[in-house]
Amino acid sequence: MLLKFLQDTNGSTAIEYSFIAAMTGIIAVGAITLLGGEVGGMHNDVANQVVNASK
């Protein structure tokens, strides 16, 4: 029974997909954290330019 359990690979695909999803989430959070300030600054610059152009 233990040997049959060790040879069973039905759950390995779900574990692999969950690992890929977790790594994708970690990478996305890291990228947003690193680039968030720069994107916010660019947004403020564009907003200021629009305000100044509309005067």
Q: Is residue 4 domain-resident? A: no
Residue 32 lies in a domain: yes
Residue 29 lies in a domain: yes
Is 40 inside any structural domain?
Answer: yes
| pLDDT band, very low/low/confident/very high, at 55 (cuts 50, 70, 90) | confident
Residue 43 lies in a domain: yes
pTM beyond 0.75, yes or no: no
> pLDDT digit string (tens) for 11-54?
677 788 889 999 999 999 999 899 888 888 899 999 999 999 98
The pair of structure tokens assigned to 23 is 């790594």
Burial environment of residue 37 by CB neighbours within 10 A (0 to 12, 13 to 18, 19 or more): exposed
Average pLDDT over residues 6-12: 69
Domain hosting 30: range is 15-50
Residue 28 included in any domain: yes
pLDDT given for residue 6 in this prediction: 65
Please give the tally of structural domains in the chain.
Answer: 1
- Residue 19 inside a domain? The answer is yes
| Euclidean distance between CA atoms 13 and 22, whole angstroms | 14
| Residue-level pLDDT at 5 | 66
Residue 30 lies in a domain: yes
